[in-house]
Amino acid sequence: MKGENPKILVHNRELAEDMLVGGRLEYIADGDCLVVHADKGGVEVTVSPIWSKDVQPAREGGKRGVEVPNFGTILEGATIKASGSFWEADDARMKDADIARACRPEGGFIVLNAGSFK
């Protein structure tokens, strides 16, 4: 977990799956976090984003989001696209993640690779 507002989950994976993933970013005030409304195999799901370790929380004009190096600021309401993958909600890699319940949707997680935003 990283940041003050919003809190974001980050990973340090150098190698990861490389499918195109994305969706609409939403801020959840109850957990002070971001979620993504994504299309996963033709089904809309709400997932918790896991950003690369170089991403930082951002606030701009009353909106919350993230600052992605070499790409820019992505704020709530924006649509994101990047290389990455989906992890299930019960993925063992996330069992000890310090994340508020409101920020841990049943749809699981979306892992977003560094340097892959479009």
**Is residue 31 a contact partner of residue 103, using CB atoms and an 8 Å limit?**
yes
Mean pLDDT of 46-64: 95
Spell out where 9-78 has E strands.
9-11, 19-28, 33-40, 43-52, 56-60, 63-68, 72-75
Mean pLDDT of 41-67: 94
d(CA 98, CA 12): 16
Task: Please give the mean pLDDT across all residues of the chain.
Answer: 91
Which pLDDT value is given to residue 2? Answer: 53
Which pLDDT value is given to residue 95? Answer: 87
Which pLDDT value is given to residue 1? Answer: 47
Which pLDDT value is given to residue 16? Answer: 65
